[in-house]
Amino acid sequence: MSTITFVTGNANKLKEVIQILSSSSATTTTSSSNQVGKFTITNKSVDLDEVQGTIEEVTINKAQAAAAHINGPVLVEDTCLGFKAYNYLPGPYIKWFLQSVGLDGLNKMLSGFEDKSARAICTFGYCEGPGKEVKIFQGITEGKIVPSRGPTNFGWDSVFEPVGFEETYAEMDKSVKNTISHRYRALDKVRDYLLSQ
């Protein structure tokens, strides 16, 4: 049994990742449900430098730095929210925009634009260890930016309404969100890869 360290200090994110990864019938689950095939998923909070660049460059750099720090297999995630009107910025910098302007500010950024459409992108990087190649798994969910609705304790979930739904991510039941979200779509690919190993 090999252990993969998911590098995050966010308990909500860890819970969601484990829930999605262990939701396949082909997956062996234990009472703690952190098994995926022959792998056990654990987590550790590691302070990594955030480089600037494309989503892929940011994720690859993060995975390589994490693998060197942990000295073993790691899974890292980079989540983006891009506004079509801004040519898909803020993108990988959404975390800093959210900290600076808040949920209301994200809406105000689009006040001069008719197009409120947005794209939620989740990119996971898997690296077997220091110096190894980083494998990229990406999921995208199209939606739009709306005034905040629902709990505000999970990033920008309360302002993102996926296409085909009348609820924001924050208003959705987790069992629904975890089958349509950008994170689910990326993790579906991660799970397939891990089960094939």
Binding positions for ITP are 8-13, 62, 78-79, 154-157, 177, 182-183
3-state secondary structure of 164: coil
The span from the CA of 60 to the CA of 78, in Å, is: 10
* Annotated binding-site residue numbers for Mg(2+): 50, 78
Instruction: Name the nearest CA neighbour of 171 among 187, 154, 184, 186.
Output: 154
Instruction: Name the nearest CA neighbour of 102 among 64, 44, 159, 43.
Output: 159
Distances (CA, A) of 48 to 68, 78, 99: 11, 12, 18
The span from the CA of 66 to the CA of 5, in Å, is: 9
Instruction: Name the nearest CA neighbour of 145 among 176, 114, 101.
Output: 114
Burial category of 105 from C-beta neighbours within 10 Å (exposed 0-12, middle 13-18, buried 19 and up): exposed
The span from the CA of 136 to the CA of 28, in Å, is: 24
* Annotated binding-site residue numbers: 8-13, 50, 62, 78-79, 154-157, 177, 182-183
